[in-house]
Amino acid sequence: MLPTVRVYLSGPMGAGKSTVAAAVAAQLGTRALDLDERVEELAGRSIPEIFSERGEGAFRALEKEALKTLPSDVGVVSLGGGTVVDDDTRQMLLREGIVATLTADASVLAERVGRGEGRPLLGDDPQGDLGRLLQTRAAAYAEAHAVIDTGTLDAGQIAAEIVAVRNRSPIVVPLGLRTYQVEVGRGTRHRVGILANEHSAGDAILVFDGDQDRPWPADALRDLTLAGKAPIEVKLPGDEAHKNIASVEQVWDTALDAEVDRRAIVIGVGGGVIGDLTGFAASTLLRGVALGQVPTTLLAMVDSSVGGKTGFNRPRGKNLVGTFYQPKFVLCDVETLSTLPSEERIAGLAEVVKSAWLDSEESVAMLERDAEALVAGDTDATIRAVRMSISLKSRIVHEDEHESGRRMLLNLGHTVGHGLEAASDYRGIRHGEGVALGMIAAMRVAAGLGLGRREETDRLTQLLASLGLPTDLDQRLNSRALGFIGSDKKRRGDRIYFVIPRLPGQTEIELLGLDEVRGAVERG
């Protein structure tokens, strides 16, 4: 059952927020509140008086206070037109509730607000002023769970659409005008046709792996065809050994032979290898076409499908050639995990542990409580784990999309983990297993620097073991794996940015010498 979640309606003046708020509240059986009215109540002044006497800065501060003191029985809030311009406020609302942006053409808005009496931000040219507001606030308004044009829909229709979004409860990856939503749940894969049409007016290229025991590509083919977008099919091997430029060329050439244009969308259905190859192909085909991701492995759901990293392997190491290219949508359907071998699903839990350790004590404790259920493949526990992981990643990607700083934290366990994978020629160890062992190696480095405690190392090791993940680092470590550390993308000359785990939620990044890292890992 969907937990209680508050709906926030954002958008410019004249978009119909108050009217729609009442309609949404009626459908949900809750109470609506206008934030401007709450601000006036707190200040004892009208909005124009606050602007005139104290300025816009004071008004925005009052808005924040009003949001923190909302009555508990309020389920729908109509925000002020500029509330979400403040980044901290906007990110808080995206985390805590469902944000729907209502908008319309400036001419429609101007007709609704008339001469703008009582609107401090409007002057003698309401339509021009509204056009400029829409332009300056476009990126902030785009960071929402849904953006709805109210120009042609009535309040009931808009409310029904908002309630549907609330029920899906997508996770927003907030990147201004390139913002997208990640849907997590049961049956979400069947929305691929709807979303492909929403984000593309051209052909669909469906890229998938060749495992005949997994029916999910067939589902995507059917759903796209029913949506009037019968796809061009590209079947690729889904293993790391084929994560190479030859596979990318197959996507390029199939699409070009079909004479697609820049309105096309490339959709990947499969694991992380398919997702990475699909993303790179989309980012380079005709210099960039739309991309959709339908990950069908746990590892791909919590890691590669979100955040926009694409790439393929080279003999010198893993993912050394690639791009940053965000998808238009991601559909994480936990039903697709039902045909995944248990060892593959369990390997994906390593990235979940990584996310929890980066996130907070609460997230680590959740995994400890859910460990038995996660190993058994319990759906509700899996959804909780996937949502936690994606929510963390969306926050970090918002702050650092291109991995110039904080996003490096997401590489916890990957420096040594990638080395172990490369040393096995991507055949002897799964990515998740490498990450699990890499996190133990990172704990060793932390201890060697005097930054880690035995208690944290023991706790992490016990959590990994309880989830069925390997912890026998010494038995798998060899000089070849350590040598691949020098090929890590975070290397700077003979030094490397290394992710140091401390207490949950307190992970750090240190610039260390390569030999220093290798020595700490070997010493144990």
Catalytic positions are 287, 309, 351, 393, 403, 407, 411, 414, 418, 431
What CA–CA distance (Å, rounded) separates 512 from 323?
Answer: 26
C-beta separation of 313 from 240 below 8 A: yes
Distances in whole angstroms, Cα of residue 206 to Cα of each of 40, 281, 365: 53, 12, 39
* Two structure tokens written together for 509: 């990044």
What CA–CA distance (Å, rounded) separates 96 from 391?
Answer: 11
C-beta separation of 246 from 187 below 8 A: no
Q: What amino acid is encoded at 428 in this protein?
A: G
DSSP state of 302: I
Distances in whole angstroms, Cα of residue 403 to Cα of each of 316, 324, 453: 21, 10, 28
**Helix 379-399 vs helix 342-359: crossing angle, to nearest 10:** 50
User: Which residue stretches of 69-203 are H helix?
Assistant: 87-96, 106-113, 126-136, 138-142, 155-168, 192-199
C-beta separation of 12 from 109 below 8 A: yes
3-class DSSP state of 196: helix
Q: HSE-up of 432 (CA within 13 Å, CB side)?
A: 27
What CA–CA distance (Å, rounded) separates 186 from 430?
Answer: 26
What CA–CA distance (Å, rounded) separates 440 from 460?
Answer: 8
Nearest to 350 by CA among 274, 269, 417: 417
C-beta separation of 366 from 384 below 8 A: yes
Q: What is the largest CA-CA distance in the chain?
A: 76
Nearest to 408 by CA among 328, 469, 491: 491
